[in-house]
A and B are shown apart, each in its own frame.
Chain A
Amino acid sequence: MTDPSAIIGHRFPAFEMTLEPGRVALFREAIGEPAQAEPGDLVPPTLLGFGFEPVPFDALDVFGLDIARLLHAEQELIHHKPCRVGERLKGQKEITNVFEKKGGALLFVTLKLTYRDEADELMAESIQTLVVRQEVAA
């Protein structure tokens, strides 16, 4: 890759999604909680972290990277207001940082995923730092 930093600021298509009870119940079951979710229930704190968005791996396409070389390095979640089952959210993801370490062997990509509620108020932010193992020419 010639200049990864040229990608900083790239925005992915905005999306909308509903926190459907069935999906939240399945998430709860998967983390060892009771498989229950009713409209109005508060959701588990990491629900919106990574994967629940419609296209979790869209950043790989921007860089032409291989999912087999991807690892999750760091994750931050910020909840600005309570998030409940049944809520309809608007999401937007952007690339906020790109940098290499170890002479290019590791490519770090930081993504910020922002969620707003129907009143367009900031609901939550998920800051995902992914790392991709790259081949380095000898």
Chain B
Amino acid sequence: MSDLRPGTALPELKLPPITRHTLALYCGGSGDHNPIHVDIDFAREQAGLDDVIAHGMLVMAYLGRLLTAWAGPGSVRQMKTRFKAPTQVGDEITCRGEITELEGDGVRVSIAAVRQDGTVLADGTALVDSPS
């Protein structure tokens, strides 16, 4: 990896639009069975929402993919994310990262997941092994 310095952007990760199928798969695959993510009746009647919302951890998993696509499987030592806006069906998420600091043999990266209208859905930081 030639250009490891603050300000360097990671290759973007663009995801297909979130579908109800995406959320059903993540419900079963992650073990997070909160019906607010998959059951529109529950979301409306119990939670007072217009529709289901995506798992925050699905968005964080996409940010994890951004990092491992760049630095390799098992490279993520730490990551921290704030969930800033609910992710909805139809959202097209792009994950971005930028090096902020070199820390020994690791790299500190700022990360963000943004949808098509520019809304930041989640952002935070990560510490990953330097990509070789």
Binding site for B on A (CB under 8 A): 23, 26-33, 41-42, 44-46, 49-53, 56-57, 66-79, 82-83
Measured between beta carbons, the chain B residues less than 8 angstroms from A49 are 57, 60
Give the CA-CA distance A41 to B72 in the complex, in Å: 12
Give the CA-CA distance A52 to B111 in the complex, in Å: 23
Extra contacts besides A23-B29, A66-B46, A78-B77 (4): CB < 8 Å: A44-B61, A45-B76, A46-B57, A75-B83
Q: How large is the interface on B (under 10, 10 to 19, 20 to 34, 35 or more residues)?
A: 35 or more
Measured between beta carbons, the chain B residues less than 8 angstroms from A50 are 30, 32, 57
Q: What are 18 A-B contacts defined by CB distance under 8 Å? A: A26-B28, A27-B29, A27-B30, A28-B29, A29-B25, A30-B28, A30-B30, A31-B26, A44-B65, A46-B64, A67-B34, A67-B36, A70-B34, A72-B56, A73-B83, A75-B81, A75-B83, A78-B78
Give the CA-CA distance A77 to B25 in the complex, in Å: 22
Measured between beta carbons, the chain A residues less than 8 angstroms from B56 are 71-72, 75
The main secondary structure of chain A at its interface with chain B is mixed
B15 proximal to A (CB < 8 A): yes
B22, B33, B76, B83: the one contacting A79 at CB < 8 Å is B76
Binding site for A on B (CB under 8 A): 15-16, 22, 25-26, 28-36, 42, 46-47, 55-58, 60-65, 67-68, 73-74, 76-83
Closest to A60 in B: B34
A51 touches B30 (CB 8 A): yes
Chain A CB count within 10 A is highest, among B30, B47, B68, B81, for: B30
A77 touches B30 (CB 8 A): no
Closest to B26 in A: A30
Measured between beta carbons, the chain A residues less than 8 angstroms from B80 are 74-77
B33, B47, B57, B68: the one contacting A68 at CB < 8 Å is B47
Closest to A72 in B: B56
